[in-house]
Amino acid sequence: MQYAIIMAGGSGRRLWPLSRRNRPKQIIDLLDAQSLLQRCVARLQGLLPLQRIFVVTNAEYEDLVHRHLPELPVENILGEPIGRDTANAIGLAASILLPRDPQAVLAVFSADQVIEPLEPLQQAVRQALAFIDEHPEALFTFGIKAAYAHTGLGYLKRGQPASGHPGIFAVEAFREKPNKSTAHKYIRSGNYCWNSGIFVWRADTILRQLELFLPHNADRLLRIGQAWPTDRRPAVLKKEFDLLQKISIDFAVLEHAQHVYMCEIDCHWVDIGSYETLAENVGRADADNNVTTPATRCEWLDSSNNLVISTCPDHLIAAIHVEDLIIVHTQDTTLICRKEETGQLKPLLDRMAVDGNERYL
C-alpha cells in the first residue's frame, strides 16, 4: 500500500518572530490564509486518502498539529522527542509502518515547500510510484527544473535514461550548494536540476539502505518500530532517539546508494526557510517593491524593497525613507533588520536566551 510522509519538524528560527517554539513555521497562516502544512496536505488530495497520510514532527508539536489538522487521524502524527534530521525522520516513519504493511511504499514530502501548480507534481509522483512497483529496490527522487543559477540549493545531475521509462533517469551525482560560477556551469550544461527533497521508495528498501550505510541508527530505529504499538514506546523512543546520529537522508544514503532514479518537475518550487524566500511568495508588491501580506496595514513614503509583515490586523506600520528592510510585528515582538543581515537571527535568539528573554522565543 502507498503512504505519504510529511516531514514537519523544523522550528523555523530563521523566521522569528513569526515562528516560535510554540508556533512553528509550518502552521503559520501566511499563504492564502493557509499554513505550509495545510497546503502540503492539500497537495496530496487525489493521490492518497487522509488515512494514509502521516506527519513526522517534534513531539511537543503533536497536539498543535492535531488541532491544526483535525481531519487527520491522531495516530498518524508521529512525534520525535528531538530533531535528528531527515534520515531519522524518514527512518522512524518506515520503522513504524513496515510491521503494519510489509509492502509499504512511502512518498516523502517536506511541509516547508511551496509547489505550484499541483498537476506536474502529482503526475511525477504517480510516475514514481509506478516505477517503484516495477523496481522495488530503487530509490526515487525528484529534480526541479532550475529557473536560474541558485547558489543556496543542492543539485541533481541527470544520468542515463531508465530503459522503458520515458522521462526517468538515473541520478549520476548529488551536488551540494555551488558557488555562482559553478551554478552557471550547471545550468548551461542542461544536465542539472535543483534537488527537491521529495522522495518515493519502499519502507523495507530505505531501511535496508540505512542498515547498510548507517547501521548504528538503523538498529535503534528498528527497536523503536518494534516498541511503537506497545506501552514501552515512550521509554524506548526517549532512550534510542537521543542517541541517533543527526544526519540528512542525502548524506546518509542517497549520495552512496545504487539504483537512485529521478524525474524532473517543471513548476514553481521554493523552500520557505527564510524571509528572503517568504518575500517571494507571501503577498503583494507595490510599485517600489515593498512586499506585505494582505492582512498587513502599511503606509509608505519614499521607501523601497522592504518586506513588512504584521500579525496584528489593527496595527498600522508606517515607514519613511527606508529601504531593504525586514519589519515583522507580532503581538509581543517587533523585528527590524536589513535584508542582508537575516543570518544574524540565530545568534540574536541565542543571546535572548542568555539575557533571560526566553519567553519571546
How high is the mean pLDDT of the chain? Answer: 93
Confidence at residue 249, expressed as pLDDT on a 0 to 100 scale: 97
C-alpha cell recorded at residue 315: 496595527
What CATH number was assigned to the domain covering residues 2-274? 3.90.550.10
Confidence at residue 28, expressed as pLDDT on a 0 to 100 scale: 82
Nearest alpha carbon to residue 295 among 281, 284, 306, 279: 284
Confidence at residue 75, expressed as pLDDT on a 0 to 100 scale: 96
122 three-class SS? helix
Pairing, β 316-320 against β 77-80:
unpaired
Mean pLDDT on 24-31: 80
C-alpha cell recorded at residue 42: 492539500
pLDDT digits 0-9 by tens, 105-157: 999 999 999 999 999 999 999 999 999 999 999 999 999 999 999 998 999 99
d(CA 119, CA 127): 12
CATH 3.90.550.10 residue ranges for the chain: 2-274
Pairing, β 307-310 against β 291-292:
parallel
Handedness of CA 27, 20, 94, 164 (dihedral sign): positive
Is the predicted pLDDT of residue 5 greater than 90, yes or no?
A: yes
Confidence of residue 221 (pLDDT cuts 50, 70, 90): very high
In the chain, % of residues over pLDDT 90: 83
In the chain, the amino acid numbered 210 is L
pLDDT digits 0-9 by tens, 257-298: 999 999 999 999 998 888 888 888 876 789 999 999 888 999
Q: Report whether 122 contacts 45 (CB < 8 A).
A: no
Place of cell 500500500: 1
Is the predicted pLDDT of residue 223 greater than 90, yes or no?
A: yes
Confidence of residue 240 (pLDDT cuts 50, 70, 90): very high
Region of residue 302 (phi > 0: left; psi between -120 and 50: alpha; otherwise: beta): left
Nearest alpha carbon to residue 96 among 215, 253, 235, 207: 207
Confidence at residue 180, expressed as pLDDT on a 0 to 100 scale: 93
Confidence at residue 186, expressed as pLDDT on a 0 to 100 scale: 95
pLDDT digits 0-9 by tens, 156-187: 999 999 999 999 999 999 999 999 999 999 99
d(CA 10, CA 26): 8
In the chain, % of residues over pLDDT 70: 99
Pairing, β 260-265 against β 139-144:
parallel
